[in-house]
């Protein structure tokens, strides 16, 4: 009796085909003599020799085999992650190999093959992780672990010769400042929106007559594009700064962070208010009645029962707002608000893709992390509620 | 003659206002003049407002069409028996599409496809997938099982069942997803102007660069008005469809 | 006309249908009755291949049902389920026209057939043809469901608890209507139910199923007189078997020539109903009359009681 032929995994086949095509036909890195020229492509084979190349290719071959034939999700995940590490290290090594010693002008940029391989391996890892269905705590742990490893290797200098890190080296102090600014704007506007939006939501829930008016107004605000709202607020805030010197000294000016924060605050109100109302609506009437019946005051019922039970939905609203705001703060750079968007737009203006990446990669990482952590929090709360 | 409800009156008025402003912008000059300083032009004069508005609408619609095709196709695929294994991954990917800030997608796409409409289309496409995909899933999954069984029992092939029963019944929900996606993208599309895509964002950015609040307001209000009217029109369409399909 | 040959269906470890063989005659109503979990619905679904058998086969007019693609087979078999599954987004007329359209009938023929069926099922075409299912009552939806199944003039009609969602008053009428339809169109009907009364009322032959097996397949009277399994007796009911037997015979069948002073009883009524009338009135005998009043004979209590014994 012959062994049954192992079934080919459909997703794996697609990913392996794409990855292999990229590896052989697309450039792995791009050698640029300075930061502005387009540069020449180099394939992986041309850049790495000896053990390095062998190691990288072996890791990729293993990952491909797992993708095609192995059904065990844990094996797929481990081999995919190994592939990612191999590709990253190969890029770093390419950077080291192609940079003449002491030369600070040359830029080695990751090429199309690098990104394609990263995406394919990433999809493989994501698919495997989703199949394993890790709990919320484990997911946050995995995120922290990955970020930690990446952070350590960046600090250690492994990737120093790659173009993005070169840009960072030039802009290091500014990067730290803009990153802080970005986080301050995103979280600041979120905090303000929660402080105002939560009570407003509770009010709308208690007085249904208010709901259409409030929600429609907030909806209309949402339809005004971000940059327009930023711009519209500049004039009144500028006038305010001119009229009230205290405001100017506090930093509330027509340009800069103030219009951005106010605009983001207004944008964030709708998800918070809408989700607060929706969350409170879903709280079971019998639980509230029982609480009243036990002698809890209205305030105790609100804080101890209703808000607690509505929390998952409210947190979902906060998650939406945080991710949205992290993205929109990028645009605030256009009106002088600072933040990582400054790098993005400067890079677009100078056609320096590495500068764009210097801004874009942290923004995307922040957005993902925020989404993952808050989703995990919501799921953890739902589980607690379910088991209670 | 039926009594005109206040909502209808508002709707028609808003539409009239929008068209009037796009076709004869200069007639609104006196309204915007107080917002300008040093004799700057009150009405955007570096391009035709109507053309820009239509260009923006066009970009949004093309991106929405692409998102719809991909999201609905994916939704159909993962609700079939053979495609069920792709459901978790599809969900994750579509979620990623929405988590990626559109500005970042725009910025990263520019070196790949150049400036102009193309990176904007890519950003809007990715951002608009989630509402349509999730709604397609819910729509297809909540088809009454008796109807599906009767359809199979009567001799409809799987393909006929999909097109004659499942998709029509899921249509209201899918349309709601498309509506959400479209309306959000009308506003998001203005960012495309930072990479030279034609649209009302151009007006806003010109205003930002020259500190001309009139320009900023024009761009912003026109976009907002377009978004609201689109939202409204599609809501009405959805309500019509729902009435024929009271599935309750 | 329909031959089920050693049909079995297994899901993993459990066997839902176990080696069922049945021969279903043309132009008859066969009722498969059993408790929930007995496998009766699965058995029904194997006839039109909504469920593929693990082993065994189904022959319709000598042809194996696997000889053609399943969806083509099903266009020649009517199928009604509890809940009916009417297409909510199509009008009544469009619902009924579904299978004829799939088969490519011309528009005129389809329209004529839809009109005919609406009339047979007592649905005013003017009022209901263009209505949507949610605008109809439960009873009307049930009738549309059956009409839709019969639209393409199938030789076989499969029904799975088609009257389950109706309230008792409408249910009786619907069952009588089905008998009339069967007689009119000559369709071979296979009906699944858990209701023994329904089985006795409708079935020319009844198959009693339990745990995937058919325990007995026979005329209803035989299930009472010569049950082959204690379960059959439990299902048909030991306590009132005599009355059940009486319910199978009509007054017209049992009437003897003669007259009586007693109450009038419809010829179409069962002996059980006749007995009930006689007990209520206290009379010894009853006159049997047709619907239009013509005398058919008379029945005495003693005669009726004799019919109630095997």
Q: Residue A26, SS3?
A: coil
Q: CA angle C274-C277-C283, nearest 5°?
A: 105
CB–CB contact B208 A335 (8 Å): yes
Residue A326, token pair as written in the block: 């992290």
Do B52 and B202 contact (CB within 8 A), yes or no?
Answer: yes
> Do residues A95 and A111 lie in contact, with contact meaning Cβ atoms separated by under 8 Å?
no
Question: Cα(A263)–Cα(A255) distance, rounded to whole angstroms?
Answer: 12
The 8-class DSSP code of residue A302 comes to I
| Statement: residue B211 has pLDDT above 50 | yes
Q: Which of B152, B157, B169 sits opposite C88 (nearest CB)?
A: B169
How far, in Å, are A22, A120, A255, B36, C94 from residue A258 at the CA level?
46, 41, 7, 21, 62
DSSP H or E stretch at residue C158 = strand C156-160
pTM: 0.81
Residue A4, pLDDT score: 55
* Short-list B2, B15, B71, CA closest to B231: B15
Q: Read off the pLDDT of each residue in A186-209 and give the average, rounded to a whole number.
A: 92
Strands A40-42, C55-60: pairing is unpaired
* pLDDT higher than threshold 50 for residue A252: yes
Q: How far apart are CA A34 and CA A104, in angstroms?
A: 9
Chain B residues closer than 8 Å to C102 by CB: 154-156, 160
Q: Which residues of C touch B144 (CB under 8 A)?
A: 83, 85, 88
Burial class (CB in 10 A: 0-12, 13-18, 19+), A354: buried
B235, two tokens: 């809501």
Least Cα separation, residue C123 to chain B (angstroms): 21
User: What residues pair up with C10 in beta bridges, in sequence order?
Assistant: C15
> Among B86, B195, B220, whose Cβ lies nearest the Cβ of A225?
B220
Q: Which of C79, C61, C27, C291 is nearest to C183 (CA)?
A: C27
Does B3 have pLDDT greater than 60?
Answer: no
Residues belonging to chain B: 248
Residues of C in contact with B147 (CB under 8 A): 85-88
Contacts of B165 in chain C (CB under 8 A): 87
Which residues are within 8 A (CB) of B205 and not within 5 positions of it... i.e. 6 or more apart? A227, A334, B193, B194
Q: Which residues of B touch C (CB under 8 A)?
A: 144, 146-158, 160, 165, 168-169, 244-247
Give the phi and the psi of residue B181 in degrees, each rounded to 5. -60, -45
C–B touching, 3+ CB–CB pairs within 8 Å: yes
**Measured distance CA(C286)–CA(C277) in Å, rounded:** 9
pLDDT in tens, A343-387: 998 888 887 888 888 998 999 899 989 988 998 888 888 777 766
Q: Which of B88, B178, B98 shows the shortest CA–CA distance to B130?
A: B98
Name every residue whose Cβ is closer than 8 Å to that of residue A125 and which is 6 or more positions away in sequence.
A76, A77, A80, A81, A84
pLDDT per residue rounded down to tens, chain C (310 residues): 899 999 999 998 999 999 999 999 999 999 999 988 899 999 999 999 999 999 999 999 999 999 999 989 999 999 999 888 899 888 999 999 999 999 999 999 999 999 999 999 999 988 899 999 989 998 999 999 999 999 999 999 999 999 988 988 889 889 999 999 999 999 999 999 999 989 999 999 999 999 999 999 999 999 988 899 899 988 888 888 888 898 898 888 888 888 888 888 888 888 998 899 899 999 888 888 888 878 888 888 888 889 888 8
Higher pLDDT, A64 or B7: A64
Contact between chains at B104 and A131 (C-beta distance less than 8 A): no
Residue A196, min C-alpha distance to chain B (Å): 24
What gap in Å lies between CA C76 and CA C54, rounded to an integer? 23
- DSSP percent split of chain B into helix, strand, coil, nearest 5: 80, 0, 20
- A with B: 3 or more CB pairs under 8 Å? yes
Give me the residue from C75, C84, C134 closest to B150, CB to CB: C84
Q: Which of B144, B154, B247 sits opposite C99 (nearest CB)?
A: B154
CA distance B33 to B17: 18
Residue C20 belongs to what H/E stretch? strand C14-24
Query: Which residue carries 């805030």 as its tokens?
Result: A237
Distances (CA, A) of B157 to B82, C28, C71: 16, 29, 5
Could you give the residue ranges of the DSSP H alpha helices within A48-171? 50-69, 73-98, 112-132, 136-156, 163-170
Query: Count H helices, E strands: chain C?
Result: 15, 13
Rounded Cα–Cα distance for residues C182 and C120 (Å): 12
Chains C/A: 3 or more C-beta pairs closer than 8 A?
A: no
Enumerate residues 118 to 137 of chain A having a beta carbon within 8 A of any beta carbon in chain B: 123, 126-127, 130-131
Would you call B155 and C81 a contact, using CB atoms and an 8 Å cutoff? no
How far is A382 from C24, CA to CA, in rounded Å?
55
Tell me if B75 sits within 8 A of B137, measured CB to CB: yes
User: What's the length of chain A?
Assistant: 388
Give the pLDDT confidence score for residue A253 in this predicted structure. 65
Confidence of residue A250 (pLDDT cuts 50, 70, 90): low
Q: What is the mean pLDDT of chain A?
A: 84
Residue A3 has pLDDT above 70, yes or no: no
pLDDT of residue A6: 62
Contact B155 C148 (CB under 8 A): no
Question: Span B171-199, mean pLDDT?
Answer: 88
Look up residue A195 and give its two tokens: 């402080």
CA distance A281 to A337: 38
pLDDT at A1: 46
What pLDDT score was predicted for residue B1? 42
Buried b (16+ CB within 10 A) or exposed e, A169-200: eebeeebeebbebbeebbebbbebbbebbbeb
- In angstroms, the Cα distances linking B1 to B4, B12, B240, C295 are 9, 17, 21, 65
First-residue to last-residue Cα distance in chain C:
30
C74–B151 CB contact, under 8 Å: no
Query: What mean pLDDT do residues A330-352 have?
Result: 86
B58-B236-B151 Cα angle (round to 5):
95
In this complex, the residue of A127, A331, A368 whose CB is nearest that of residue B191 is A331
């Amino acid at each position: 009796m012959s062994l049954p032929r192992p079934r080919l995994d459909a997703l794996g086949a697609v990913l392996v085909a794409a990855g292999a095509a990229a590896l052989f036909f697309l450039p792995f890195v791009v050698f640029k003599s300075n930061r502005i020229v387009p540069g020449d492509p180099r394939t992986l084979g041309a850049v790495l020799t000896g053990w390095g190349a062998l190691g990288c290719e072996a890791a990729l071959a293993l990952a491909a085999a797992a993708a095609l034939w192995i059904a065990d999700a844990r094996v797929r995940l481990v081999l995919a992650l190994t592939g990612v590490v191999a590709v990253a290290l190969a890029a770093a090594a390419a950077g080291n190999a192609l940079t003449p010693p002491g030369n600070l002008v040359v830029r080695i940029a990751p090429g199309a093959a690098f990104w394609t391989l990263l995406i394919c391996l990433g999809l493989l890892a994501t698919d495997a992780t989703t199949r394993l269905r890790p709990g919320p705590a484990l997911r946050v742990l995995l995120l922290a672990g990955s970020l930690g490893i990446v952070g350590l290797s960046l600090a250690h200098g492994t990737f120093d010769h790659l173009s993005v890190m070169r840009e960072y080296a030039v802009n290091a102090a500014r990067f730290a400042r803009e990153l802080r600014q970005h986080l301050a704007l995103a979280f600041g506007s979120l905090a303000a929106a929660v402080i105002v939006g939560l009570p407003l939501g509770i009010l709308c829930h208690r007085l249904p007559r208010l709901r259409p008016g409030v929600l429609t107004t907030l909806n209309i605000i949402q339809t005004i594009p971000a940059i327009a709202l930023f711009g519209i607020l500049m004039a009144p805030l500028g006038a305010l700064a001119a009229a009230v010197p205290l405001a100017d000294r506090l930093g509330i000016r027509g340009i800069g962070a103030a219009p951005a924060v106010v605009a983001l605050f207004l944008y964030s109100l709708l998800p918070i208010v809408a989700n607060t109302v929706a969350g409170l609506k879903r709280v079971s009437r019998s639980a509230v009645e029982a609480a009243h019946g036990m002698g809890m005051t209205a305030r105790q019922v609100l804080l101890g029962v209703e808000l607690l039970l509505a929390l998952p939905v409210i947190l979902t609203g906060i998650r939406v707002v945080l991710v949205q705001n992290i993205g929109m703060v990028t645009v605030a750079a256009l009106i002088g608000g600072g933040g990582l968007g400054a790098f993005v737009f400067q890079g677009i203006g100078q056609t320096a893709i590495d500068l764009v990446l210097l801004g874009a990669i942290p923004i995307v990482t922040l957005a993902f992390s925020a989404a993952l952590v808050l989703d995990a929090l919501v799921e953890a709360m739902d589980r607690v509620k379910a088991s209670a | 003659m039926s009594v005109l409800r206040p909502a209808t009156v508002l709707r028609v008025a808003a539409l009239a206002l929008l068209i009037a402003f796009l076709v004869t912008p200069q007639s609104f000059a006196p309204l915007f003049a107080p917002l300008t300083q040093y004799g700057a032009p009150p009405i955007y004069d570096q391009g035709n407002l109507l053309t820009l508005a239509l260009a923006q609408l066009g970009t949004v619609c093309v991106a929405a069409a692409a998102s719809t095709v991909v999201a609905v196709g994916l939704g159909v695929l993962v609700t079939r028996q053979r495609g069920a294994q792709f459901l978790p991954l599809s969900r994750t990917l579509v979620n990623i599409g929405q988590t990626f800030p559109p500005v970042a997608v725009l910025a990263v796409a520019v070196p790949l496809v150049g400036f102009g409409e193309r990176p904007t289309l890519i950003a809007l496409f990715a951002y608009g997938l989630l509402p349509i995909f999730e709604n397609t899933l819910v729509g297809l999954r909540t088809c009454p099982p008796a109807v599906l069984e009767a359809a199979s029992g009567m001799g409809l092939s799987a393909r006929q069942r999909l097109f004659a029963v499942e998709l029509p019944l899921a249509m209201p929900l899918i349309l709601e997803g498309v509506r959400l996606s479209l309306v959000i993208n009308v506003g998001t599309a203005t960012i495309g102007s930072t990479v030279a895509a034609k649209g009302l964002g151009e007006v806003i950015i010109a205003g930002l660069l020259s500190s001309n609040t009139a320009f900023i307001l024009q761009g912003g209000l026109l976009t907002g008005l377009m978004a609201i009217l689109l939202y409204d029109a599609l809501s009405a369409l959805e309500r019509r469809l729902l009435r024929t399909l009271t599935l309750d | 006309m329909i031959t089920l040959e050693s049909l079995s269906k297994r899901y993993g470890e459990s066997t839902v249908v176990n080696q069922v063989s049945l021969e279903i005659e043309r132009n008859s109503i066969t009722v498969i009755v059993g408790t929930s979990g007995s496998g009766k619905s699965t058995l029904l679904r194997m006839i039109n291949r909504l469920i593929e058998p693990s082993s065994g086969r189904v022959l319709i007019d000598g042809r194996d049902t696997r000889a053609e693609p399943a969806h083509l087979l099903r266009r020649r078999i009517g199928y009604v389920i509890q809940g009916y599954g009417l297409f909510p987004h199509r009008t009544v007329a469009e619902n009924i026209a579904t299978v004829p359209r799939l088969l490519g009938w011309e528009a005129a023929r389809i329209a004529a057939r839809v009109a005919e069926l609406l009339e047979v099922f007592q649905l005013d075409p003017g009022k209901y043809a263009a209505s949507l299912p949610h605008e109809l009552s439960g009873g009307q939806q049930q009738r549309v469901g059956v009409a839709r199944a019969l639209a393409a003039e199938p030789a076989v009609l499969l029904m799975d608890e088609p009257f389950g969602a109706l309230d008792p008053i409408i249910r009786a009428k619907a069952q009588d209507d089905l008998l009339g339809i069967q007689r009119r169109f000559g369709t071979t009907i296979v009906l699944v139910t858990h209701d023994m009364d329904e089985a006795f009322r409708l079935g020319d032959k009844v198959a009693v199923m339990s745990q995937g097996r058919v325990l007995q397949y026979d005329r209803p009277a035989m299930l009472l007189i010569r049950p082959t399994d204690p379960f059959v007796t439990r299902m048909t009911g030991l306590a009132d078997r005599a009355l059940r037997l009486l319910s199978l015979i009509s007054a017209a069948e049992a009437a003897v020539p003669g007259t009586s002073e007693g109450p009038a009883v419809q010829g179409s009524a069962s002996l059980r109903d006749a007995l009930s009338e006689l007990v209520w009135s206290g009379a010894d005998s009853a006159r049997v009359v047709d619907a239009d009043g013509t005398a058919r004979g008379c029945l005495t209590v003693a005669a009726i009681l004799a019919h109630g014994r095997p």
